[in-house]
Structure 1
Amino acid sequence: MMFRAKLLALKKQIVEKHVFGEMAAYVYVVEFRKRGLPHVHFLIILKNGYKLKWLIDYAKFVSAEIPTMANPSLRNIVLKHMMHRPCGKLNPECSCIKNSKTHGRCKYEYPKSFTPATTTNIAGYHEYRRQNSGETTLIRKYQLDN
């Protein structure tokens, strides 16, 4: 019930309030994972004047940094739900450590290196801004940063 309420609120933000800009079309599908947990995939096609074409456009919507204390609600959500668990040297038994062939590296390539601005790497993937603020926070008994 809560998932549906949040999905409807998200859909209203996207479709009616145009948080990403005016849309030409959209479609979404709800899927269920292990233990019946739902998630949704949205495909949003924006009108020409609203399409994201430059790295600075992506930076308006995507962040890879821990929010500041200026927005405590968002900060708490990110720290609770969006932080990758400690792995590698901090936690060699973590499930994201593939096998002995990776020499203890995370299969998602964490920890990511600090990056002063959003860029595109040689493979064409975005590397989002991740500045070294010097701040750390306690996540699952370990001090983690951006």
Structure 2
Amino acid sequence: MVCRAFKVKLDRLIKDIRKNKIFGRVITVVYTIEFQKRGLPHAHIVLFFHHDDKYPTKEDINHILSVEIPNKENDPVYYEAVGKHIMHGPCGDLKKDSPCMESGKCIRHFPKRFFDSTTVDEDGYPIYRRREDGRTINKSGIDIDNQYVMPHNRKLLLKYRAHVNVEWCNQLRSIEYLFKYMNKGHDRVTASFYKSAATDAEEDDCDEVSMYYDCRYISPCEVAW
């Protein structure tokens, strides 16, 4: 059921992008499906736009992306969707035992800094508008603000009611990062075989310190896919 629902949403999303042109004319759509070891599938998608339909300015970025919590009173449905699907954390000083924390820092670099306007840094990476407007969403009993919102598109979020992270990409390194999923192959695990300490050493015919098998791992969702 998970795979079927995911496939239906993915097909309709690609149709929205290519035929319905929700972002404009798209020359090429490239994507791959990844199955995490915990089971759920997700898609990495790269869009190449027509030259006349690109989004080169910071005003364009603000038009298609948001990293801010909507007004709960004016748009309660959007507010609920952001809280359910788009918020990261809590982590950092608010919750130091969060799974994303390593060596006292979030591996996803949250919480983000506040910015009054969208800019593009000297390396070509976007810094999204993330204003300190006092709006919060409660997750796990903790109120978190715009510093924990992931980039998203309102229309896609409300239509598919799923985690749809949308990023403005103008960097070759970003494209390389996404394309590596095309050829990285399946998840693999190293499984060790050993005997307990209670086993009589004289009966052990193996001289190696350890043995291992390089195995292919397929999650239940990937089997169904």
TM-score in terms of structure 1 length: 0.86
- The offset of 1:123, in angstroms, is 4.1
Structure 2 residue corresponding to 1:43, chosen from 43, 46, 49 = 46
Alignment gaps of 5+ in structure 1: none
Letter matched to residue 57 of structure 1 = D
Mapped pair 1:132 → 2:129: no
- For 1:95 and 1:42, locate their aligned partners in 2 and report how far apart those are by CA, in whole Å: 26
The count of corresponding residues between Structure 1 and Structure 2 is: 142
- For 1:137 and 1:74, locate their aligned partners in 2 and report how far apart those are by CA, in whole Å: 12
Alignment gaps of 5+ in structure 2: 147-225
Instruction: Report the counterpart of residue 78 of structure 2 in structure 1.
Output: 74
Q: 1:89–1:28: structure 2 CA closer, same or farther, 3 Å change rule? A: closer
Instruction: Report the counterpart of residue 86 of structure 1 in structure 2.
Output: 90
Instruction: Report the counterpart of residue 95 of structure 1 in structure 2.
Output: 99
Matches for 1:1-146 after TM superposition, within 5 Å? 1-69=4-72, 70-99=74-103, 104-146=104-146
Q: 1:122–1:6: structure 2 CA closer, same or farther, 3 Å change rule? A: same
Which fold has the larger relative contact order, with Cα–Cα distance below 8 Å and residues 6 or more apart in sequence?
2
Letter matched to residue 121 of structure 1 = D
Does structure 1 retain, via aligned residues, the 8 Å contact 2:34–2:43?
yes
Please say which structure displays the higher CA radius of gyration.
2
Deviation per residue, 1:48-106 (Å, 9 max, x gap): 1001212221222211101223332222121112111122222111222211xxxx332
Overall identity of the aligned pairs, in %? 37
- For 2:137 and 2:39, locate their aligned partners in 1 and report how far apart those are by CA, in whole Å: 31
Per residue, is there more helix in 1 or in 2?
2
Letter matched to residue 98 of structure 2 = C
TM-score in terms of structure 2 length: 0.58
- For 1:24 and 1:137, locate their aligned partners in 2 and report how far apart those are by CA, in whole Å: 38
CA-atom RMSD, angstroms? 1.7
